[in-house]
Amino acid sequence: MTNTMNIPMSSPDLNDDDRQAVINVINTPNLSMGKYTLAFEKSFCDYTGIKNTISVNSGTAGLHLCVRAAGISAGDLVITTPFSFVASSNALLFENAVPIFVDIDPRTGNINPELVAEAAKNIEKHLPKRMSKVDGRGSLKAILPVDVFGQPADMDAINAIAKEHGLKVIEDSCEALGATYKGRQAGTMGDYGVFAFYPNKQITTGEGGVIITNDDKDANFMRALRNQGRAPGDTWLQHTHLGYNYRIDEMSAAMGASQMSRLDSILSKREQVAAWYEARLSEIPGVEVPYIEPFTTRMSWFVYVIRFDKKINRDEMAKKLEARGIPVRPYFLPIHLQPYMIEKFGYQEGDFPVTEDLGKRGLAIPFSGVMTEAQVDYVCNIIREELKK
Ligand SMILES: *Cc1c(COP(=O)(O)O)cnc(C)c1O
């Protein structure tokens, strides 16, 4: 039987106002670096209470600019998680810095602060097997936690370790716009926070991202780097720094600003869909639903990832669900086991067992704020049926 409901893996939550906002832009000659970009940035300062927002053309670009602003360069070490989307580690590799992975909390999938503390104390014991000789050996500079699946990492614990060791904190909140930790906004707790707007995220600009920071000097530096290294006062053909073209365009910014104006209703719809899933899936033997920490005062649902019992073969279940027309995705394939990471650093299976275990048992099922209760029912019934076979 095919998926008669045609349920996609994810869906943007766009309305006529968002579409009209884009049309308004394309009726003007200003398609880049204009008032919509400024309005989009202002919406983040207003929402988070952070002084500076730097918009960019992807979350990955945002992370990369944070790495540059934090002064992380070749051979420097940054403690981070192998259970994430690859961009969080790649942003370090772009500068030939070295991600120092530590394992995660088995319930949430977020970086385990006890292991972060241990690694910060005994960094030599945590170096990868292979390290490039060309880059030399820098020093431990930062911690890069990720708010996995929309749930904030344990930021108080991470910030305490950072303070003790004099480290910067880059909070990858690309999956967690609107989440709160002990009442504080995700992305606001480190030196820099990054959000991303690919179409499967909570809000979308097609492609896009923003960085938020209270550090004015770093904000100006990142604004320059985003714009081909042009510092304030530089003309179009003067470039104080080695920069990039990481600018967002006005169409994307207008679409984003329009969604930001109703972010809470977008997040509430996602919360409703997650609640429908939880009510049905927690009744199905062999299926674990997401665990929410007491310190997560608001979950910002990004994807809905279930975990199968160890006895159940996740990959076979994924195939069966796909065969019934339900799109699914294993989440995450561990970063340290991606081929280029194995080649560069010599990682192997068994290096981060909790990450690998969650990576083997987790499956993202269709999720978005525009799903109906009937669609959730349909997906859950098929999961129940296929588990019984
Ligand atoms: C989505 C995401 C990013 C950035 O993604 P882009 O596609 O570059 O916008 C970074 N880190 C994590 C954890 C993500 O989920």
Ligand 1 centroid to 2 CA: how many Å? 31
Ligand 1 centroid to 356 CA: how many Å? 20
Of 82, 87, 127, the closest CA to residue 109 belongs to 82
Q: Ligand 1 pocket check: which of 174, 303, 305 to mutate, most ligand atoms within 8 Å of Cβ?
A: 174
pLDDT-derived band at 389, boundaries 50, 70, 90: confident
Interval 52-80 mean pLDDT:
97
pLDDT of 137: 77
Least confident piece of the model among 109-113, 221-225, 354-358, 385-389: 385-389
Ligand 1 centroid to 14 CA: how many Å? 20
83 lines ligand 1 (CB under 6 A): no
Interval 160-167 mean pLDDT:
98
pLDDT of 386: 97
Q: Let me know the angle formed at the C-alpha of 374 by 371 and 378, rounded to the nearest 5 degrees.
A: 100
Ligand 1 centroid to 92 CA: how many Å? 14
Ligand 1 centroid to 88 CA: how many Å? 7
198 lines ligand 1 (CB under 6 A): yes
pLDDT of 306: 98
C-alpha–C-alpha distance, residues 278 and 233, integer Å:
54
58 lines ligand 1 (CB under 6 A): yes
Q: Does the pTM exceed 0.95? A: yes
**Is the peptide bond between 195 and the residue preceding it cis, with omega within 30 degrees of 0?**
no
Share of the chain above pLDDT 70, in %: 98
pLDDT of 135: 59
Atom of ligand 1 nearest to the CA of 146: 13
- pLDDT of 1 above 60: no
150 lines ligand 1 (CB under 6 A): no
Which residues are 88's β-sheet partners? none
pLDDT of 3: 61
| pLDDT tens-digit readout, 5-62 | 899 999 999 999 999 999 999 999 999 999 999 999 999 999 999 999 999 999 999 9
Ligand 1 centroid to 132 CA: how many Å? 26
| pLDDT tens-digit readout, 314-350 | 999 999 999 999 999 999 999 999 999 999 999 999 9
60 lines ligand 1 (CB under 6 A): yes
Interval 229-233 mean pLDDT:
95
Interval 172-192 mean pLDDT:
98
Average pLDDT, the chain: 96
Ligand 1 centroid to 250 CA: how many Å? 21
pLDDT of 131: 82
196 lines ligand 1 (CB under 6 A): yes
C-alpha–C-alpha distance, residues 246 and 252, integer Å:
13
Interval 70-75 mean pLDDT:
96
All structural domains of the chain, each given as residue ranges with its CATH number in brackets, are 16-260 (3.40.640.10), 263-388 (3.90.1150.10)
Interval 94-118 mean pLDDT:
98
Atom of ligand 1 nearest to the CA of 302: 15
172 lines ligand 1 (CB under 6 A): yes
209 lines ligand 1 (CB under 6 A): yes
Residue 136's contacts (CB-CB under 8 Å, 6 or more residues apart) are: 74, 75
Contact 177, 147 (CB under 8 A): no
| pLDDT tens-digit readout, 269-325 | 999 999 999 999 999 999 999 999 999 999 999 999 999 999 999 999 999 999 999
Contact 37, 201 (CB under 8 A): no
pLDDT-derived band at 182, boundaries 50, 70, 90: very high
pLDDT of 46: 98
Atom of ligand 1 nearest to the CA of 196: 9
Residue having the nearest C-alpha atom to atom 4 of ligand 1: 59
| pLDDT tens-digit readout, 355-369 | 999 999 999 999 999
- pLDDT of 227 above 60: yes
